[in-house]
């Protein structure tokens, strides 16, 4: 089932999650364990993130140094297949522009469709420390709107090259929104213009970056509606678990924490997990009471807190 169908037909707000593939060299069993823990909460769909290749420098035994390229967290497509076909939970594969040619993207979408997966989140992707060189006979999507357009073309049966006896690939496409503005955008007005380009290109829904002040989400939704963006906008939430996250998350995700939350954690660092869970539950209740279409949690493969919040919200 497509995400947009969940959002438009659900009789109660939807709950969904986002998880990351295991690090290179780890087993898919790590993900299976996480999904097994999440399954009792009955998430409507699970996002699986994707990661571009990176470069690192390795010192060999003879003292020389060589540059190696690797993907830190491979396996997005395979993990989606495991989750959807083993657990019968719809999955959303994250598809990136950076580090992939359009031909590679088309191949990935064909494979996803073959696996029965019909949901993707189209992202430009963070700037990696390694820029893969695209061969001269291939092309690349520069922005997320270009990737959305490629998916829209496939929905019409338009492939990079003519494929005999091919069928259209009908994907539901989600895109990212930023209640506190994408850090590269000059201002919120420009950021909303970029978001509208993605929606106009064919995006079906928006899921937001994590935020910890509901007023920022409400203001963002109003600005989107004023800009003519009418698709569902799903709020993205993160449960704070450790004290150091109040410094690492803003650096990584370019968001702010409310003073009240920071003050409470600083005053009671040993109770951070309890404080974070209570804050997330309060956020969730406020969003649902105000009519948010659902809640999307960035799990980072720690399911315990999320399951408890879902149980509390469902009574």
* Nearest in space to 8 (alpha carbons), one of 178, 231, 207: 231
Per-residue pLDDT at 303: 86
Percentage of the residues of the chain whose pLDDT score is greater than 70: 86
The whole-angstrom separation of Cα 103 and Cα 159 is 9
Per-residue pLDDT at 72: 52
User: What value does the mean pLDDT take over residues 285-310?
Assistant: 91
Q: Using an 8 Å Cβ cutoff, are 208 and 220 in contact? A: yes
Per-residue pLDDT at 133: 57
User: What value does the mean pLDDT take over residues 45-50?
Assistant: 94
User: What value does the mean pLDDT take over residues 41-62?
Assistant: 69
Confidence of residue 129 (pLDDT cuts 50, 70, 90): very low
Query: Which SS3 state, helix, strand or coil, does residue 225 take?
Result: helix
Minimum mean pLDDT range among 183-197, 262-276, 288-302: 288-302
Q: Is the pLDDT of residue 128 over 80?
A: no
Minimum mean pLDDT range among 82-91, 125-134, 288-297: 125-134
Q: Is the pLDDT of residue 59 over 70?
A: no
The whole-angstrom separation of Cα 225 and Cα 223 is 5
* Nearest in space to 151 (alpha carbons), one of 103, 107, 202, 78: 202
* Nearest in space to 253 (alpha carbons), one of 57, 18, 54: 18
Per-residue pLDDT at 231: 98
Select the more confidently predicted residue: 241 or 57: 241
Per-residue pLDDT at 51: 63
User: What value does the mean pLDDT take over residues 126-135?
Assistant: 53
Average pLDDT, the chain: 88
Taking domain 3-313, whether its CATH number is 3.20.20.220 is answered by yes
Q: Is the pLDDT of residue 127 over 70?
A: no
Angle between helices 304-313 and 272-289 in degrees, nearest 10: 40
Per-residue pLDDT at 208: 98
- The residues spanned by each domain of the chain are 3-313
Q: Is the pLDDT of residue 131 over 60?
A: no
Secondary structure of 49-75 as H, E, C letters: CCCCEEEEEEECCCCCEEEEEEECCCC
Q: Is the pLDDT of residue 193 over 70?
A: yes
Confidence of residue 189 (pLDDT cuts 50, 70, 90): very high
Query: Which SS3 state, helix, strand or coil, does residue 23 take?
Result: coil
**pLDDT per position as a tens digit, 135-179:** 555 688 999 999 999 999 999 999 988 776 678 999 999 999 999
User: What value does the mean pLDDT take over residues 91-107?
Assistant: 93
Select the more confidently predicted residue: 304 or 297: 297
Per-residue pLDDT at 135: 56
Buried b (16+ CB within 10 A) or exposed e, 45-80: bbbbbbbbbeeeeeeeeeeeeeeeeebebbbbbebb
Per-residue pLDDT at 56: 40
Select the more confidently predicted residue: 78 or 119: 119
Per-residue pLDDT at 54: 43
**What is the pTM (predicted TM-score) of this model?**
0.90
Q: Is the pLDDT of residue 82 over 50?
A: yes
Per-residue pLDDT at 69: 43
């Amino acid at each position: 089932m497509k995400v947009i169908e969940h959002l438009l037909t659900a009789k109660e707000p939807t709950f969904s999650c986002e998880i990351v593939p295991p690090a290179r060299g780890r087993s898919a069993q790590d993900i299976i364990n996480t999904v097994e823990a999440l399954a009792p909460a009955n998430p409507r769909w699970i996002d699986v993130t994707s990661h571009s290749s990176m470069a690192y420098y390795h010192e060999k035994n003879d003292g020389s140094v060589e540059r190696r390229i690797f993907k830190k967290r491979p396996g997005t497509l395979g993990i989606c297949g495991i989750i959807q076909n083993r657990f019968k939970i719809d999955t959303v594969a994250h598809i990136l522009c950076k580090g992939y040619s359009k031909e590679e993207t088309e191949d990935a979408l064909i494979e996803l469709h073959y696996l029965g997966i019909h949901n993707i989140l189209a992202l430009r992707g963070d700037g990696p420390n390694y820029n893969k060189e695209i061969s001269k006979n291939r092309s690349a999507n520069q922005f997320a709107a270009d990737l959305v357009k490629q998916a829209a073309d496939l929905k019409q049966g338009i492939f990079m090259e003519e494929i005999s006896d091919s069928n259209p690939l009908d994907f539901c496409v989600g895109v990212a929104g930023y209640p506190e503005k994408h850090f590269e955008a000059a201002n919120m007005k420009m950021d909303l213009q970029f978001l509208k380009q993605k929606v106009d290109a064919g995006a079906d829904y928006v899921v937001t970056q994590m935020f910890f002040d509901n007023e920022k989400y409400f203001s963002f939704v109003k600005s989107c509606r004023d800009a003519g963006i009418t698709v569902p906008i799903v709020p993205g939430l993160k449960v704070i678990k450790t004290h150091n996250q109040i410094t690492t998350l803003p650096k990584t995700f370019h968001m702010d924490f409310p003073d009240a939350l920071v003050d409470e954690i600083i005053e009671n660092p040993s109770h951070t997990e309890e404080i974070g869970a209570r804050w997330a539950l309060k956020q969730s209740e406020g969003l649902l009471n105000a009519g948010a279409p659902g809640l999307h949690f960035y799990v980072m493969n720690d399911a315990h807190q999320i399951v408890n919040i879902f149980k509390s919200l469902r009574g």
